[in-house]
Structure formats: structure tokens, C-alpha cells
Structure 1
Amino acid sequence: MPPLQDADAATLYVLAIAAFQRGEAEAALDLIARACAHPESRTIHHAHHGEILLRHGRAAEAEAVVAAALARDPDNAPAWDLLGTILVNRAALADSRPCFERAIGIDPDFAIAHNNLALVLQRLGELDLAETHYRLALRQLSEVAGIQLNLAILLRRRGRDREGLAMVEAILATAPAMIGARLLAAEFESVLGRDLAALDHLDQAVALAPDQVDALVRRSLMLCRLARSDAALDDSDRALGLAPGNGAALHTRALALQGLDRTQEALDAFALARQAVAEPALLIAHHALLLAELGRKAEALAELDEALRLQPELIDAWYARANLSRYSAGHPDLARMEGLADRPEATPRDRLHLGFALGKAYLDLGDGPRAFARLHVGAGLKRTTIDYDPEHEAAHLAAIADTFSAPLLSRRRPPVDADPRPILVFGMPRSGTTLVEQILASHPAVHGAGESAHLADLVQTEDLIARAPALPADAFPALGRRYLERLGANAPSTARLVDKTPSNFLYAGLIPLILPGARMIHCRRDPLDTCLSIYSLLFTRGHEYSYDLTELGHYYGLYRRLTAHWRGTLPAESVLEIDYEALVREPEAQVRAILDFCGLPWDERCLRFHQTERRVTSASRDQVRAPIHTRSIGRAQPFRPWLQALEAALG
């Protein structure tokens, strides 16, 4: 090799690239600068000089070097692509776009330039054109996982979740350790209502990269969604151990504490996270929800106003505000939400949430045509994201009834002392379960544990629908103890515990086996009123039957059939059936019946339940903080013209 002072441009360039690959930044920059200064330098030398400068954070110098190279050779496509990349790094998106377009104009098959242009277009909101360029890139580089992942991210934004998930699964088939693909797969699965599948991807991501804060934070969020708040808190604390002061981890820690009903700690955690998050609008909206659960409605609305001041298009805040507000004609929120829902760039998620928000608002106004036009949009979009098979559901509920038959219940009754603490309140959603829980929780001897997934998780993890007939009688008490440990984690040891989970009507046959001293209260309400209230809600998880009026009516029939089975199978004294209409018309008589059934002494506070200060997480939180009334009886009657499919399915 000639001495460096005599080396030609090509030799200096090769040595520079080698030094760069070894991580010898200063040597690489010196060698590439000398190559560019050589009389025989080529455009590629100048372009790589710019790339090395960019990699070392010297974007302004990089731009000048590449611009000079293009002045020498204006038809060099890679140099135009590099200039566009430099401008992107300088946040000059609008200026970068023509650079990538020029590169593609010179070389229409330049896949990397197509990908880079698509990334810019995606950030500029031109999603159709971005997708076109991703697909042009994949024509040339069909197996490049990075480009596939970029397109899948775009499909998530466009609400094409099944298509995007298929693409991510293809990536993972060949690159199972690709963390970004794992995290995106989890996001797709969650949107499609498959939270356990999402958690599996997140578990794998954390196993592959145990010190990656983003993976821990995302798993913490999913665990919160699954009501596994103790594990969620562990993940957020672990993330904070790796990155003290990380805003996202502080945010998920607040949500985990909220889920654990450690209310003051959660409020303090939100305050701390607010100082650490650069863009706090979503965090403020989540804080507002906690305030609403605590009955601090005015403060919650003020927080949502602040979130919308910071981010006027934050759909989560608009949706939360709709659920906290009572609308009258001419309310300014209506026009604002209409504009957001109908804008061309609104994502499917935007239109889904605003469909429910506007539907609720127009129901308040008694405007059936507008209410159902919006609700049908929201429910229809939600229905496309979930896998729900009415026939499979019918078979599932029939299998429950077949399993928990009268012979099984009599044969498997466990020989243990009955624990009188658990009270399980169930029925269809919006049937009065929250009201009954609030009445009970107003009693000094009772702790309202709210809704929980504890019983459903126990059934699923132990496969109890299939295994119950074969289990020995002494296996059931241990299952009950596990359930009670989780349910009563934050309750006084002597308190009666209310689990107000509507879907526990599925397990009314199992409950006497694992909790022989439990009291069960079945809440019933007019079917049309119940189903209208269900259809107007966007549930956080579960209730997949609720987004189509025909499927909703069909499921209500399955519920009615299963509860009739329990009525004919379980001892009459083990279940109290409470009709919502009777409860609100004759509150004292019905409250006395509830307390007598639960073995509780009379307490006047149970009639003044609306004065009880406690966290209420269900959609009925406003109703149970007002004195009892009959206004919701017959709520569906004015809307029957739009409920014909539901009525037909109800029979």
C-alpha cells in the first residue's frame, strides 16, 4: 500500500469506511475528508462523507457536504436520498420530500428512497401515497423486514389490523427475535380483542430484551388492561429502575396503582408523571378518569379541558368528556366532535370513539336518527376488530349449563365451613349491578371490590368448565381461597366483599362449589332498556356481542336461557333476584331485602348510597352518585324505530 500522503482517492475512501466500521470516528472523518479533497474524488466519496458526519450528529456539516456533491453530480440518486435523510434528521420534513422524489425520478426502482419517502408522507398524514411507496419498495426488497414493519405500522394507523397482523406474523416467522415486530404484534392483537395473545408477544419481547424500557412499559399497560395490576406495578417499577424519571414508566405506574385501588398513591404518581412527560395531554386525560371514578366530576372536566387545550384533537379526551357530560341542544362540543369525526384524515380509531361519543350525546338529546347513525359507525368499526361467533358463544354457554347440572352440584358440594364474606352481584351490563354494589358498599361492614377478572381468570387458567366434573370435592375450596385472596387484597380482613362483575352470571354454578358461603345477587332490567344501554357503550374489554344489534339480542337470549337454568338448578336461597324497576320504585323495601339476604343488619346509609365516597369504575358512576330515581325506566321506548333488529332477535 502506498504511503497515505500518496494514496489515491479510492484507497483513502476504502480506509475511511473500514475505520468507520471499526468505530474509529475521528480517523474515518479525516480519511474521508482527504478522499473528497483528492482531485480524483467521486460523488460517492462526498456522499459517504456526509453520511459519516450525520452518524456523528453533525447534520449541518453533512448537509453542506452532500449539497456540494450534488452540485457536482445532480443526477446521483443515492446522494439525493441521503440529503433527504439529513433533512429528516433536522425535522425539515417538507424540505426532505422533494429530495426523495428526485432520487426516485432518477431511479424509479430505488427501493430505499421509496421507503424513506413513505416514512415522510406517513408523518405528513398522506397515508394513501405513503402506502403506495412502501409497496413499491417491497417490489424490489420484498423480504426486508424493516420495510415490512414500516408498512405494518401504517396499516395499524389506518385501522387495517388483520392485514397488518398477517404482515407482522410473516416477519416473525423469519425473524422471531425482532423486538419491534413483537411489540407491534402485541398492539394488533390487543386492538383485535385478543389481550392474552398480546400479552404473550409482550412476554417474549421482555424475555428477548429484559432491559428494554419500552417493552416493560407496554407489558405494564397490558397487565393493567387485564386487571393484573400487581404485576403491572412490578413492570413499571422495573422500568423505572432502568430509567429513573422515565415519563412513560411513571404514567403506567400511576395506572397500576389506580387498578390496585391505592388511590392516593395513584394521584401522587400522576402528579409526578406529569412533570416528566414532555406531552402530557393523554396523561392528564387519564388522571381525569381517576378523578371521575372518585366522584370529583368538576375537577375531572377541568382536567379534560386542559388536555384538550394542549392537544385539541385528543380523541380520548373528547370521548371521556362525552361520558361525563349531559348534552343539550346547541352544546359547542357537538360541532367540534362532528368536525373531528368527519375530517378526511380521521383514523378508524378516531371515528370509532367519536361514534360512541356523539351517539351518547344525541341519545341525551332524544335525537334518534343522529344517535343511531353515529352509534352504528362506532359499533360497526369496533365489530370489524373482534372475532365473535354467535354460534360458538351459544355452544359455550350450553356447555356451561351441561357441566354444572343439578347432579354435579349435589355431588361436588365441598365439605368445608362456609365463608360468609363473598357477595357476587351479576347480570347483564347496565342492569343495576353498580347500584346494588353501591348500596352494599355503603354499609360499614362491606367492602365494594368493583369489577374484577379474578373469577374468569380462575376458570380459564384451571380450565374449570371442562375439568370440574372430574375434580375431587376437596379441590374446590383451594380454588375459592385463591379467588378470595385476590379479591380481598385491599379490604379489611373482616369485611364482606362485593364482586360486581356482570359476566359472573356465567359461573353461578361454580360459585357454590368454590365459595359455599357466598351470596349471589342477580340483577335484572327490562331487556330493551338494558340492550340499548349496552349498545351505546364502548367497553374497555370483553362483551364482544354488543356491537351488532342482532348479535346483542341473540346473546341476551343466551343469558336468559342460562339464568333460567340456574333458577331451576341452584337452591332458591342461594340467589336473590332483584329487578331494577322495583329497586328504584320501592328502594327501602328492596334494600331491606338485599341486606337481609346477605345477613347484614339494617343501616340507613344504604339508602343514602349516593353520599358514600368511594371509587366507582363502571359506566354508571354518575348515576350512583345521585339520589335514586325512575327516569331510566322505559329509556328505550322513544328509540324503538331504530331497535327493530334488536327486538326481532330478542323475540
Structure 2
Amino acid sequence: MTSLSESQLSKAAAALESKNYREAHRLCLAVLQSHGPDAEAYFLLALLTADHDNPTKAIEILDRALALVPSDPRFHAHKAKSLLALQRREAAADAAARAAELGPTDALTFDTIGVVHTRLGDHASAIALFEAAVAHDDHRAAYHYNLAASQQFAGAFDLAAAGYERTLEIEPGHVKALSAVVGLRRQTEEDNRIDALVTAFEARDPTNQEAQLHLGHAIAKSLEDLGRDDEALVWLGRAKAGVSASRQYDTAMDAEIYAAAAGALVAKTAEPASGKVSDRPVFIVGLPRTGTTLIDRILGAHPCVRSLGELSNFALLAKQMARTAGAFVMDAATLEATATVDPAALGQAYEASVSGLAGDAVRFTDKMPLNIVWAGHIHRALPGARLICLRRHPLDACLSNYRQLFATSFSYYNYAYELADCARYYLYFDRLRAHWAESLPADRYTEVAYEDIVGDLEGEARRLIDHCGLDWDPACLDFHNQAGSVATASSVQVRQPLYSSSIGRWKRHAEALQPVQDILRDGGVIDADGNWLRDT
């Protein structure tokens, strides 16, 4: 490579760093046109393409780079990231492993491999990679944030707090770090960040919905900690207003999804399940923020159970095998078409997809809450699998979903930006839950209420362990001291002993929740006083 092309590629890398994509593209093409195939030019073009959400094309360009220089760990690392964007998890894991074997020497590559491991649920490996990224470049806020987030998932809260603080030293306006550091501990009158958060909220770019969400949620959480509940709810509304307005949530789409989930199997559920007979999987389903992570921790504390986290494998495989059009994995058309898929093949594909994570565990848990819509298909494909569905007081469930800052990239949680939409969504869920309770075998499908776990932890834990076909182990009662990562919104709460303060939280906002109460009352799940009609 001549010095001229080196100079052009250096300028292209700088342009890419500053998101001057047009200039980066021009410089890379100039090198390719004047000097022929060049691995570095291909690499930079692949990064540019990935930044424009085209992982398929990025992989194609990276393969050109790899054909020229197969030993460059950077190429394998970024290929892994693009493979993961296409939900090709096994291929992504292999590419990430190859990148690590080749011995990265720069911070970005360590960080990229760490991100892949995080998204694969391997937070222990991710921490070491993020530590290496920070060691190679201590002045990049994103590297410190990624390390702190993984440390939080692993329960190393003091290290996580320090990492978030370091992130903010480098980039004071890093909204995710601001939000995260507030979430790690209870705010007090003497020690809180409300003034700084409000200042940042008011000074934000009004088009930056991500900043609006993170800062507004952090303010609301702080106000809740101080007992200023009414103000907190107002701030949640301000936090969510931008996304709610831009997304224009269509409740009819979710109504169709839930109807298809039940209707697609009306004729099938009466037939003997013909899928792969395996008793290893335990699916923990329900609405988010109703105790799914708590149950996962209780079961995962058993020596025969391995927790695999929240996986999308079953839905992705169903989409692939159903061959339906469109980008959505969980839509009415795919749920209906999956009824025609060979259940044995789907069950075998699912087990194969998790074999590396599950190892030789007697049981393993998959706690993707929205697998509730796949419960019928899961039973047909894996008739030996257990399903545990979480329930919670409808008003507490709706409020908890509204209070949660879900990933904005996951459109299935679009209902959570408006309280009334949370209530309507709850009714869809509850009708489907009742359908499964009636349609699926009691030895394969069971339900548990969050309030019952809090009221009788040992009794409910014993019942669930028995449902899983295992002998009782007292370690299940020590779930909060269990090792392992928790990459959910409950990462802090589930490392504490069980507490009851979240039960009846809705009563603090009874007046503001009146429209929600009306919807839930009309839907037949609560009475006029807000009492849960859980047996109806």
C-alpha cells in the first residue's frame, strides 16, 4: 500500500469517526479505484454500511476484507456484530471467538467482541473484554459505560457505580449513564441529582427522544425515592411524550397478535402434541415487570437448573420456518403460519439453538416474557417443556410497565408509553393467559401470582420446583445471593431479599389511574374498588 492510500484511509477513518459518511465513502472508493482490492478500505466501508443498518451488506464487504487478510481480529469482531444483528447467534458466537483467538490489539475490537458477548448473554466474558477495552483507551465514555453495565448485570454494583461516574467524567451529558447511576441506589434529600437531571432535560436537543426518555425516567425515579409520587408520574409523562407521539401506537396490531396466538391453535391444542419430547426447557412467560426475573432466579438457584436469560430463539426459528414476509417476528401472520410448521422440526431446532448455553443441565429456563404468545406452539413443538406464567394485580402490572424504560428498539413494548394502552394490553394478555390455562395440560402449564410469591415464598417455590419435575432444594430460597448475571430491569431488585413494598403501589396514584381502572373494570379483571378479580 502506498503512502497516498494510507493517508486517504486515515482520513476516511477520521471521517467515519465524525460520522461524515459521504467523505469516508468517497475516500475508500478512491483507494479501491486507484489501488485495487484493499482490506482496510473494505473494512471501513463495512463499518459505514453497518452504521446504516444494513448488516447483510456489511457482512458481504467484511468477507471481502477477510479474503485478503483472514487473520485480522477486527474483521471477525465486526462480522460477529453484524451476524448478531441478523439473529444468527451461533455464527456470531463463532466469529467473536475467532476474533478473540487472533489477539486484538485495539480498544474498539475488544469492545465490539464484548458487545457481542453481552447480547449473547455471556456477561462474564463481556466484562473481561470491556476491561481490556478500557485498559487500551481510558478516555472513551462508551467503553466505560459498557463495562459498568455488565458489572451491574453481574451484581458488582460498587464497580458499576464507579464506572458510570467515570463515564460521566468523560462525557457529562451521557444520558444512559445518568439514568443508570440513579437506578443503582435510592436517592435521598441530601444526596440526589434531580437539579442536574432537570437542567439536562431542559437543555436537551428536543428531537433526541432517547435523551428525553432516559433523563425523564431518572427524574421520575428520583422523585419516587423522595416520596413525591404525583410529580414522578408527571415526569414519566414528559419522558414518554416524544416517543408516544412519533410511534402512534396501534392497539389493533397487538389485538390481532393475541387473537392469532389463541386462534391459530384452536384445532391443534386438542390433538396429541407431536413435537420433540424433551423435558429440559422451562419457559417463564407473562407480562414484563410481573416477577419473571424473580421466578427465574428462584429456579436458577436449584443445582439442576441453568438460567439462559431472555431468548428470542423460539420466535426467530418459528419465523424462519414459517417463511412469512415482513420484518416483524411476532406478528399475526407468523403466528398463524407456524401452525403449519412441523412441530418436531421446530422443537429440535430450538433445542439445538440453545445447546451451547444449556450444556448438560437437567433443566434450563428461557424467560422471554412475550413467549406467552407462543405458548401453544411451544407445547406442540416441545410437549415435555414446562411453562410458568406470571400474574400480578392488573393495576400494579400496568403501572409497573408504564414506569419501565424499555429498549426503544423493541417495538413490541410500544404499548408502555401511555397508561391507557398499558391497560388495554393487559386485557389482551389476560384473555390469552386464560385460554392457555384452559387449553394446555396442567402438568405442563401453571400460573403463579407475584403477590403469592411474596406472601408464601417457600410454598410457591416448592410448588414450582415440583412442577419442573425436580426434588426440592433449599438453595431456591436463597435466590438473592445466587451468582450469575441478570441483564434485565430487575438486576438490582432480585439481588435483595424479597420485599412487599411494590404490592399496591397503584394506590399512590389512584386518582391519576382512574382511566386505567375504568378500562380494567370494563374488561372484568378488577371491581369498582380496584380489587383484583383474579379467578374470573
Range into which the TM-score falls when normalised by the shorter chain:
0.7 to 0.9
Given candidates 176, 185, 192, the residue that maps to 1:316 is: 176
Structure 2 partner of 1:562: 432
SS where residue 435 of structure 2 aligns? helix
Q: Is the 8 A contact 1:487 1:499 kept in 2?
A: no
Structure 1 partner of 2:290: 431
Q: Is the 8 A contact 1:284 1:307 kept in 2?
A: yes
Residues 2-401 of structure 1: matches in 2 within 5 Å? 146=22, 182-183=49-50, 185-186=52-53, 201-208=54-61, 210=63, 211=65, 220-221=80-81, 229-234=89-94, 244-277=104-137, 279-343=139-203, 345=205, 347-384=208-245, 386=247, 388-401=249-262
For structure 1, the 5+ residue unaligned runs are 1-22, 26-53, 58-87, 92-121, 124-144, 151-177, 187-200
Output the TM-score relative to the length of structure 2. 0.79
Write the distance in 1 (CA, Å) between the matches of 2:90 and 2:181: 29
Q: 1:436 deviation in Å? A: 0.8
Q: 1:182 to 1:271 in 2, by over 3 A?
A: closer
AA of the residue aligned to 1:310: I
Structure 1 partner of 2:480: 610
Q: 1:411 deviation in Å? A: 2.8
Write the distance in 1 (CA, Å) between the matches of 2:104 and 2:157: 32
Q: 1:327 to 1:403 in 2, by over 3 A?
A: same
Q: Is the 8 A contact 2:58 2:79 kept in 1?
A: no
Write the distance in 2 (CA, Å) between the matches of 1:214 and 1:544: 35
AA of the residue aligned to 1:428: L
Q: 1:222 to 1:146 in 2, by over 3 A?
A: closer
Q: 1:572 deviation in Å? A: 2.7
Q: Is the 8 A contact 1:285 1:317 kept in 2?
A: yes
Q: 1:617 to 1:225 in 2, by over 3 A?
A: farther
1:356-387 deviation digits (Å, cap 9, x = unpaired): 22122222223233212321122222334546
Structure 1 partner of 2:400: 533
Q: Is the 8 A contact 1:545 1:555 kept in 2?
A: yes
Structure 1 partner of 2:470: 600
Structure 2 partner of 1:496: 363
Structure 2 partner of 1:161: none
Q: Is the 8 A contact 2:275 2:381 kept in 1?
A: no
Q: Is the 8 A contact 1:240 1:246 kept in 2?
A: no
Q: 1:209 deviation in Å? A: 5.7
Question: Which stretch of structure 1 is more off in the superposition, 615-624 or 346-355?
Answer: 346-355
Greater Rg over alpha carbons, structure: 1
Q: 1:246 deviation in Å? A: 3.5
Residues 437-516 of structure 1: matches in 2 within 5 Å? 437-463=296-322, 465-471=335-341, 475-516=342-383
For structure 2, the 5+ residue unaligned runs are 27-44, 67-72, 323-333, 523-536
Write the distance in 2 (CA, Å) between the matches of 1:442 and 1:619: 19
Write the distance in 1 (CA, Å) between the matches of 2:141 and 2:454: 39
Output the TM-score relative to the length of structure 1. 0.66
SS where residue 193 of structure 2 aligns? helix
SS where residue 443 of structure 2 aligns? helix
Q: 1:637 deviation in Å? A: 1.1
Question: Which stretch of structure 1 is more off in the superposition, 229-238 or 438-447?
Answer: 229-238
- How many residue pairs match? The answer is 476
Q: Is the 8 A contact 1:480 1:515 kept in 2?
A: yes
Q: 1:328 to 1:440 in 2, by over 3 A?
A: same
Question: Which stretch of structure 1 is more off in the superposition, 219-228 or 288-297?
Answer: 219-228
Write the distance in 1 (CA, Å) between the matches of 2:140 and 2:492: 26
1:426-466 deviation digits (Å, cap 9, x = unpaired): 11001111111111111111111111111121222222523
1:615-649 deviation digits (Å, cap 9, x = unpaired): 11111122221112211110121022332343333
Write the distance in 2 (CA, Å) between the matches of 1:319 and 1:431: 22
1:457-485 deviation digits (Å, cap 9, x = unpaired): 122222252334434xxx31221122122
Write the distance in 2 (CA, Å) between the matches of 1:56 and 1:469: 52
Structure 1 partner of 2:456: 586
SS where residue 642 of structure 1 aligns? coil
Q: 1:220 to 1:374 in 2, by over 3 A?
A: farther
AA of the residue aligned to 1:363: E
Q: 1:203 to 1:215 in 2, by over 3 A?
A: farther
Identity of matched residues, %: 29
Q: Is the 8 A contact 1:237 1:249 kept in 2?
A: no
AA of the residue aligned to 2:217: F
AA of the residue aligned to 2:389: H
Question: Which stretch of structure 1 is more off in the superposition, 429-438 or 452-461?
Answer: 452-461
Given candidates 495, 516, 528, the residue that maps to 1:646 is: 516
Q: 1:496 deviation in Å? A: 0.5
Write the distance in 1 (CA, Å) between the matches of 2:467 and 2:374: 20
Write the distance in 1 (CA, Å) between the matches of 2:367 and 2:204: 41
AA of the residue aligned to 1:447: R
RMSD of equivalent CA atoms? 3.5
